[in-house]
Every structure is written in C-alpha cells, then in structure tokens.
Amino acid sequence: ADWRTAAAYLTLAAVFCGFFYLFQAMNLFGGADAYALIVITACIPFHPFETISGTSPLGFFPFTVLINAVLINIAAPLAILLKNLIEGNRAPLSCLFLGFPVSGEKIQNEFGFVMEDIEEGEDGRLVRRFIGFTESLRRIIRGERRIYTKDLRQHPDEYQKELTLYRKAGRVWISYGIPFIIPITAGFLTALFVGDIFFVIMKAIAGM
C-alpha cells in the first residue's frame, strides 16, 4: 500500500538522519558534510526522475548519493599513494594511502589531521609514532579530538607544545584534507543524473 511505502521511506530517512548526526557528533563527519546529507535525506528521500542508467535498485536516493560520494572519494587515496611512491615517502602501508608529509614549519597552513604522535624524550630526541586508522577510531570513541591543522591555525596558543615539536621534527605526516562535501556534491549530481555508480559498474562487469 502507498501509506506503507511512505512510512518505510520516512522511517529510513529518520534512521539515516540519526546516523549522520551521530557520525558528526563523533567527528567521523564534518558538520557541513553531515548537515548536507541530512538535508538531502529529508528533502529528496527517493529519486525525483529516472536517470541515464535507469532506475536504481536501491530506490533510496540519499544512500545512492552516499555510495557515489564514497566511490568518487576512493580516487583520492589512490592518487596519494602514487604521490608517496614517486616521492619515496616511507610510512605504514595504510598511511601511504591516507596522507603525506608536510613541512613542520608550515603545518598550520595545510589542511588535514595530524597522523603522528611526536614527543621529546629526556635526552632531547624525538619519539615518533604513526596514528593508524584503528587507533584514530579508538580515540574518537573515547571522546579524544584529533589534532586538526585548522585548530593549529586558529588556536596557536593552545598548541604551542605541538607546534614546537612539529617544527623540530622537520616534516610531519597529515591526512589529506579534501572536505567530504566535495565528493558529496559530486555524488549528489551523479546520483541525480547518472544514477547509482556502483550499479553501473556491476552492470558493466556482468556485460549487461
């Protein structure tokens, strides 16, 4: 029945909005990213018209937008890996996909999250440790904020110790800082006109 379909869409939209808000609260999404997805979910829960690739099997427009955004965003780590390999940068494999080293003197002018814990030992030597994805997730769950270069730029007085260590380190690894709102925008436009990219890829592989 139509009312059951409408109720299902409303329930799904409410669940998605709740998840996006929760991800923002846990710093997994930026505020603008989460609210953009919430607005899309609330205003366009289903495809407004048939796309170039036909009707999406998912049927839920915000999910198609999110999947498209994630697939588009995958291109960035591959480009970062290539950059690190060409420049000969050395780090754990996962970090080679997610970030790159920048000048410690100018780190506050970059965009991204700091991927290293740097401390100074009693002998004056620096002790450095990469912060992997799992460790980052644990810190987020514990409510610990990651160091964002924007915070270093806007609140230098609060990060005097860190800035001093970064300058002494010379080069510091940061994650790439492409705002997810850019892939979301691209995901929205492709979902609106092209359709579900993942579905298109699967159809091409299957030769349909």
Percent of the chain with pLDDT over 70: 95
The mean per-residue pLDDT over the stretch 183-208 comes to 87
Over the chain, what is the mean pLDDT? 85
Q: How far is the C-alpha of 97 from the C-alpha of 124, rounded, in Å?
A: 31
The mean per-residue pLDDT over the stretch 162-186 comes to 90
Residues 115/104, Cβ–Cβ less than 8 Å: no
pLDDT 10s digits, 110-159 = 988 899 999 988 888 999 999 877 777 777 777 777 788 988 999 999 99
Please name which of 191, 15, 133 lies closest in space to residue 23, comparing C-alpha atoms.
15
* Angle at 171 (CA atoms; ends 170, 174), nearest 5 degrees: 145
Domain map (residue ranges) of the chain:
2-75+179-206, 87-175
The mean per-residue pLDDT over the stretch 62-71 comes to 90
As given in the structure block, the two tokens for residue 179 are 């705002």
Which amino acid, 71? Answer: L
Taking the CB of residue 200, how many other CB atoms lie within 10 A of it? 18
Which pLDDT does position 168 carry in this prediction? 94
Has this prediction a pTM greater than 0.85?
Answer: no
The mean per-residue pLDDT over the stretch 14-34 comes to 78
Which pLDDT does position 1 carry in this prediction? 47
